[in-house]
Amino acid sequence: MLTDIIYIFLAALTFFGVISALIFFHELGHYSVARFFGIRVERFSIGFGRAIYQRKAKSGTNWMISRIPLGGYVKFAGDAGAASNPDAEALEAIKAEEGDVSDIFHFRPVWQRALVVLAGPVANFILAVILFAIVVLWVETIHPEALIGDVEEGSPAAAAGVQSGDRIVAMDGRTIRDWVDMSQHIQMRSNTPIETVIERGSERVEVTVTPRLIEDKDFIGGRMTRGQFGVSISPDAKIERRHYSPVDALVFGSKQVVFTISSTGHYIGRIFTGKEDGEKLGSIGRIATMVGKSTVDVAKAERPVSEKLKAFALRMLQLGAAISVALGFANLIPIPMLDGGHLVFYAYEAIAGKPLSQKKQELGFRLGMAVLLALFVVLTINDIGYFRSL
């Protein structure tokens, strides 16, 4: 019983530590660019609700840690709330009382406001690049060639004429570098024909393979679905082991971020075309489950403490990088209340030459809140189904 309580405590502590760090970097992006432009920042909060710790800096910013540690915000002078929607009355009062409004966010040029808003997601992407880079600086990466071993009878690969000993060199016009590259391409395209180029001896053969949808387990044992060809890697496949310099590691991290963003966009596109059910999408509950379960699994493993610490650090770096990309991507969705919604308003202002009316902005924020609540309900249902599959 005591052991279980300790594991729960470790899982919760790790989750709140990871999510708070990622949110801090997101908000630090907003804050840093705002201060670079000389914009007044009233509050920098990790979490919502009443403050449990706060300190006022010389710049006038009140740095806070609040009671509900599931978010954060930067509040500029003249904001109506944590979403940085303008408060017309407060802005008029500032203008009347102070006269000089050059340090007020909502009176700055639209391009500066857009950069301040964009800086949050960009900070998450930069952090993810660094975390991915640290991982490959620490451990080598393994790249087996895409050489086919066994072909399952009746599988999509068998139906297309794929044979043992074939080497996959391209899919949908894209060069396949190794087995991992091939697997990632297949997993995201169930029930979708893939134009595949095979090297068979001295010849190149073109076939069309349509991956079937299967149910599988992810790295912590949760339910997932993916596309599958029905092949295994050949025991004769050559394996390349790569070590990275700091510069190469940053290039690798950048490519991983781009790949993660494009894969997420591809998956969302498949949802809208009816090719995916959206169950892979989750919210804070799934993040908590993945971080917590990873922590407990490492803690329970029968291995020396030094190995446990290394495995834990690597797992948190990888998870942190993936979650950071997801946080940046989610905030760029063009829904009012999110950074992407603000950018849509600023794009309108840049094109029209004037901001959207206060009334329309307030309506947009209300609609945005309704959409976010609906999404939260749907994603929470997904999270519950995922948790029950463990």
Quote the CA–CA distance of 92 and 45 in Å, as a whole number. Answer: 25
3-state secondary structure of 165: coil
pLDDT at 1: 64
Residue 240: strand, helix, or coil: strand
SS3 72: strand
Query: DSSP string of 300-331?
Result: HSSS-HHHHHHHHHHHHHHHHHHHHHHHHHHH
Q: Identify the pLDDT of residue 231.
A: 97
Domain boundaries, given as residue ranges, for the chain: 1-25+108-140+244-390, 38-107, 141-242
The low-confidence residues of the chain, meaning pLDDT below 70, are: 1-2
On the CB side of 342, CA atoms within 13 Å amount to: 26
pTM of the model: 0.93
A 10 A CB-CB count for 319 gives 20
- pLDDT per residue over 19-34, tens digit each? 999 999 999 999 999 9
**Burial of residue 102, with CB atoms counted within 10 A of its CB: 0-12 exposed, 13-18 middle, 19 or more buried:** exposed
SS3 content of the chain, % helix, strand, coil (to 5): 55, 20, 25
Amino acid at 206: E
Domain 141-242 of CATH type 3.40.50.2000: no
- What are the tokens at 127? 């952090």
| Angle between helix 284-300 and 358-388 (nearest 10) | 40
CA distance to 72, 214, 336, 370, per residue, from 360 (Å): 25, 46, 11, 15
CA distances for 346 relative to 37, 115, 342, angstroms: 17, 10, 6
Spatial distance between the Cα atoms of 365 and 349, rounded to a whole number of angstroms: 16
Q: What pLDDT, on a 0 to 100 scale, did the predictor assign at position 55?
A: 94
pLDDT, one tens digit per residue, over 287-300 is 999 999 899 888 88
Point out the residues that are catalytic: 27
